[in-house]
Structure 1
Amino acid sequence: MKPLKEFTIPFVGLKIAKHQFEYKVNKTFFEYFEYEDFNDVNIKVDLVLEKKSTLLELHFKISGTVNVNCDVTNEPFNQSVENEFDLVVKFGEEYNDEYIDILIVPHGTYEINVQQYIYELTVLGVPTKRVHPGVEDGTLKSDILEKLEELSPKLKENKEKEEDIDPRWNTLKKLLTDK
């Protein structure tokens, strides 16, 4: 996969100090990764790169919304997303990304691409269970919710059925539990 140029930071010409980068991420960014769970995306990425003499420190902060479908009703809604991540980039003999928050790049590397980190931060910032806020507070009116309510088991009916059982069966049930 060819990296997107706008997310490549050439750090070799930067002074030893903190540097600010801002990115706007939309749906085409996720289409590049072939990720199709989002209907629409409006994410702002604030990246602070602190260049030091022997390493780089990157602090990612994302905030915004992604439009996803509700897991209960399949209704689209805007899910707010906020996430932060710190990454340390060190220089070594060969490329190594085995560690979560440490990236080792070969000596002589002059740029770093941050698109994969932005992608992962956004996807991991979205809750695994996506429930429309209208479902939680009861304001959403949907055919699916009405059908779920209609088909849900009624607790009172189950208790009445248990009371109608012949009491002789209860002594037989005791035999099963006395083992």
Structure 2
Amino acid sequence: MKPLKEFTIAFVGLKEAKHLFEYKIEQAFFEHFEYEEFNDVNIKVDVELNKKTTLLELHFKVSGWVNVNCDLTNEPYNQTIENEFNLVVKFGDEYNDEDIDILIVPHGTYEISIQQYIYELIVLAVPTKRVHPGVEDGTLDSDILEKLEELSPELKEDKEKEDKEDIDPRWNTLKKLLTDK
């Protein structure tokens, strides 16, 4: 996959201090990754780079919303997300990203691409079960919801009440015989 230029940080010319990078993520970013779960995206990413003599410390902070479809009703809604992640970049003999929060890059590297970390941070911030807020508070009117309620199994209490009403009265006299002992 071709790296996006705006998500590449050239750290070689930076002073040893903290540097802040801000990014606005929109739908085109996820189209680059061919990720089609989101209908629309509006996310702000703050990356704080703390350059030290032997390593780099990156702190990612993601906040905003993604428009996704509800798992129950398939109605689109804006899911707010927030997530944070710390990454340490060290220098070594060869590239190694096996550890989740430590990245080792070869000596002489002058830039790092952070697009994959931003992508994963956003995707992992979205809940696995996406439920429209209108479903939770009962304000959403949807044909699918009405059909689900119509086809849902009856509650146990309602069933017991119906069972009591449907009992043949002759059985009640027989039950009295059992309790008269």
Q: Normalising by the residue count of structure 2, what TM-score does the alignment of the two structures yield?
A: 0.88
**For residue 86 of structure 1, what is the aligned residue in structure 2?**
86
State the Cα distance separating 1:161 from its structure 2 match.
Answer: 4.8
Determine the structure 2 residue equivalent to 1:176: none
Is 1:68 paired with 2:75? no
CA distance in 1, matches of 2:44, 2:20: 13
Cross-structure match for 2:125: 125
Q: CA deviation at 1:158?
A: 3.7
Distance 1:20 1:153 in 2: 54
Q: Which amino acid aligns with 1:105?
A: V
What amino acid does structure 2 have at the position aligned with 1:38? F
What is the match of residue 143 of structure 1? 143
Q: Which amino acid aligns with 1:90?
A: K
Taking the TM superposition and a 5 Å limit, the aligned residue runs for 1:96-107 are 96-107=96-107
Match of 1:108 in 2: 108
Root mean square deviation, CA, Å: 1.6
Partner of residue 8, structure 1: 8
The number of aligned residues is: 166
- Map Cα deviations across residues 46-87 of structure 1 (whole Å, 9 max, x no partner): 000000000000000000000000001000000001000000
Structure 2 distance, partners of 1:152, 1:124, is 32
Instruction: Give the alignment's TM-score, normalised by structure 1.
Output: 0.89
Q: For residues 164-179 of structure 1, what are the structure 2 equivalents within 5 Å?
A: none
Q: State the shift of 1:27 in Å.
A: 0.4
- Structure 2 distance, partners of 1:154, 1:114, is 51
Q: State the shift of 1:153 in Å.
A: 1.1
Please report how far the alpha carbon of residue 154 of structure 1 lies from its aligned counterpart in structure 2 after TM superposition.
Answer: 1.2
Partner in structure 2 of residue 45 of structure 1: 45
Where do 5+ consecutive residues of structure 1 fail to align? 167-179
Question: How far apart, CA to CA, are the structure 2 residues paired with 1:31 and 1:154?
Answer: 44
Q: Which moved more, 1:79-88 or 1:152-161?
A: 152-161
Structure 1 residue 157, shift from structure 2 partner: 5.5
Report the Cα distance in structure 1 between the residues aligned to 2:152 and 2:53, rounded to whole angstroms.
Answer: 64
Q: Secondary structure at the match of 1:148?
A: helix
Give the greater-gyration-radius structure (CA). Answer: 2
For residues 102 and 133 of structure 1, the distance between their equivalents in structure 2, rounded to whole angstroms, comes to 37
Per-residue CA deviations over 1:144-178 (Å, capped at 9, x if unaligned) read 111111111112454345985x9xxxxxxxxxxxx
1:35 corresponds in structure 2 to 35
AA aligned to 2:119 is Y
* Partner amino acid, structure 1, of 2:142: S
Q: Which 4+ stretches in 1 moved above 6 angstroms?
A: none
Q: Which runs of 5+ in 2 are unaligned?
A: 172-181
**Residue type of the partner of 2:16?**
I
